[in-house]
Copies of this chain bind each other. A is one copy, B any other.
Amino acid sequence: MQSEQILNHQYDNGLTLVAQPMPWLASAAFSILLPAGGRYDQAGKHGLANFTCEMVQRGCGELDSRQFIEQLQLLGVDYTSSASNYHTRFGGAMKATELHDTLSVYRDVLRKPHLPESQLEDGRQVCFQEIWATEDDLSRRAIRKLRERFFGDPDGRHADGTIESITGIGQQDIEDFWKRYYQPAGTIIAVAGGIDFEALKAHVGQLFDDWQPNPVEPIESSGEVHGPFHIPFESEQTQIALAWPGVAYSHPDFYKHRAAIGVLSDGMSSRLFHEVREKRGLCYSVFASAVSVGDRGAVIAHSGTSAARAQETLDVLVQELSKISEGVREDELSRLKVQFRSGMIMQQESCRSRAGSIASDWDRLGRVRTLKEITDIITGLDVESINEHVASCPPQNFDLVTLGNAPLEMKNGIPTTSA
């Protein structure tokens, strides 16, 4: 493996710069995480963080809406933005030589957006379209509903909001949200690629060190609803989404937990893929994944299957998931280790992947796990400690959301209520 150097600098206003030089690359990537996600939306105005994220990109500093986009294209930036539960994120990849100029543009996005009222309705339409697109994506719909119920509010809240809540958002709401939440305390700028850290540190300092902090307060989640839930929908397919409590990324046992989920779901020799898809041909898609919201962990499993085979799919899925508490096998773990390590090698070659990971690590851990460190943790895993872990928190008390023609029945007999 290439050696990994992680460098960081904390500015006085609470902004953190964290970077990984990858000197063999001609490209660079950045990821800016602002603690300005949908969880901070006011009651009745869900979707505000996302709407604000849309509006700050419609002109900033010296650039109007059109010039802003053209400027990024002239810099050759492949850029993205999104609002999640905790964060608003701006990211991009470009020639390493254009990194500083690109960050200068993003200084203005964060600090000097025009928030043009004349474009408010256009921005609102974009938010509507995102919501409609999800309405038509049935697996996402089922999983979103499951997260809402499992995590309560705001932890289970999706940043898109609803047609009703977006309709109720006005210009003043956008301006207020931006003023309150676009600030440096807890904000992370992560950069990876062909960079010079000292020059970058000075440049980021120049752009941001007079930005006034206004730290956000933690918000407790409440209102979890457990048990089964059905969303009636005419379709050839039935969507099945299951959740149960898991271990968060920041927890010391995370990689034991992650390995057990890996045996269930990573790759085509995984239990779910093999048993549910290949051997029984029950579905096209099946997976389980470890999810963290702040310091709360969960496992979410999903399968999209034909209506006719949906009950059988649910039965087999629950059976396979439950069986993991009996432990994983040596051969499963060996294969998984190879797969993890192979994945690491590919990740360490991509600056986009690294910028995203170091931002997210810094946010969750206050430090970065290098790929070397993760590789060592994985190499050190053994069947005994994983099995001890899974026996202590077996998958059970599944929360279920189904979407399709008819509700399904959980084997343990809990009745499925309708929406």
- What residues of chain A have their CB less than 8 Å away from a CB belonging to chain B? 1-2, 24-27, 58, 65-66, 69-70, 72-79, 93-95, 98, 121-126, 128-130, 132-133, 135-136, 138, 234-237, 267-269, 274, 277-285, 304-306, 331, 334-336, 338-339, 341-343, 345-346, 349-350
| Least distance between A90 CB and chain B CB atoms (Å) | 13
Complex formed: what's the CA distance from A305 to B125 in Å? 10
Q: Tell which of B122, B128, B279 touches A280, judged by Cβ atoms closer than 8 Å.
A: B122
Which residues of the partner chain B approach A74 to less than 8 Å between Cβ atoms? 334-335, 338
Closest to A352 in B: B346
Copies in the complex: 2
Residue among A73, A334, A349 with the most chain B CB within 10 A?
A73
Which residues of the partner chain B approach A122 to less than 8 Å between Cβ atoms? 278-281
Which residues of the partner chain B approach A331 to less than 8 Å between Cβ atoms? 70
Which residues of the partner chain B approach A78 to less than 8 Å between Cβ atoms? 342-343, 346
Q: Tell which of B70, B138, B269 touches A136, judged by Cβ atoms closer than 8 Å.
A: B138
| Least distance between A232 CB and chain B CB atoms (Å) | 14
Q: Are B129 and A283 in contact (CB under 8 A)?
A: yes
Complex formed: what's the CA distance from A96 to B177 in Å? 49
Which residues of the partner chain B approach A132 to less than 8 Å between Cβ atoms? 236-237, 284, 306
Q: Are A335 and B73 in contact (CB under 8 A)?
A: yes
Task: Indicate whether A338 sits within 8 Å of B136 (C-beta atoms), given known contacts A306-B128, A349-B26, A350-B350.
Answer: no
What are 14 A-B contacts defined by CB distance under 8 Å? A25-B349, A65-B278, A69-B268, A72-B268, A73-B267, A95-B342, A125-B280, A125-B281, A129-B283, A129-B285, A129-B304, A132-B236, A136-B138, A136-B236
Complex formed: what's the CA distance from A235 to B98 in Å? 44
| Least distance between A384 CB and chain B CB atoms (Å) | 22
Q: Are B306 and A129 in contact (CB under 8 A)?
A: yes
Q: Tell which of B123, B133, B338 touches A304, judged by Cβ atoms closer than 8 Å.
A: B133
Q: Are B342 and A94 in contact (CB under 8 A)?
A: yes
| Least distance between A278 CB and chain B CB atoms (Å) | 6
Q: Tell which of B24, B66, B282, B285 touches A133, judged by Cβ atoms closer than 8 Å.
A: B285
Q: Are A27 and B349 in contact (CB under 8 A)?
A: yes
Which residues of the partner chain B approach A58 to less than 8 Å between Cβ atoms? 278
Task: Indicate whether A121 sits within 8 Å of B281 (C-beta atoms), given known contacts A136-B138, A237-B136, A304-B133.
Answer: yes
Closest to A69 in B: B269
| Least distance between A299 CB and chain B CB atoms (Å) | 21
Task: Indicate whether A135 sits within 8 Å of B24 (C-beta atoms), given known contacts A334-B74, A342-B76.
Answer: no
| Least distance between A280 CB and chain B CB atoms (Å) | 7
Complex formed: what's the CA distance from A27 to B347 in Å? 10
Q: Are A338 and B73 in contact (CB under 8 A)?
A: yes
Q: Are A278 and B126 in contact (CB under 8 A)?
A: yes
| Least distance between A346 CB and chain B CB atoms (Å) | 5
Taking A26-B349, A76-B342 as given, write out 7 further A-B residue pairs in contact, using a Cβ cutoff of 8 Å, ordered by the A residue number: A73-B335, A76-B339, A78-B343, A126-B281, A129-B281, A129-B305, A349-B349
Q: Tell which of B72, B98, B126, B269 touches A66, judged by Cβ atoms closer than 8 Å.
A: B269
Complex formed: what's the CA distance from A354 to B391 in Å? 45
Q: Are B70 and A335 in contact (CB under 8 A)?
A: yes
| Least distance between A25 CB and chain B CB atoms (Å) | 6
Q: Are A95 and B26 in contact (CB under 8 A)?
A: no
**Which 3 A-B pairs give the minimum distances between C-beta atoms?**
A125-B281, A76-B342, A129-B284
Which residues of the partner chain B approach A281 to less than 8 Å between Cβ atoms? 121-126, 128-129
| Least distance between A39 CB and chain B CB atoms (Å) | 23
Closest to A268 in B: B69
Complex formed: what's the CA distance from A136 to B137 in Å? 8
| Least distance between A131 CB and chain B CB atoms (Å) | 9
Q: Are A73 and B133 in contact (CB under 8 A)?
A: no
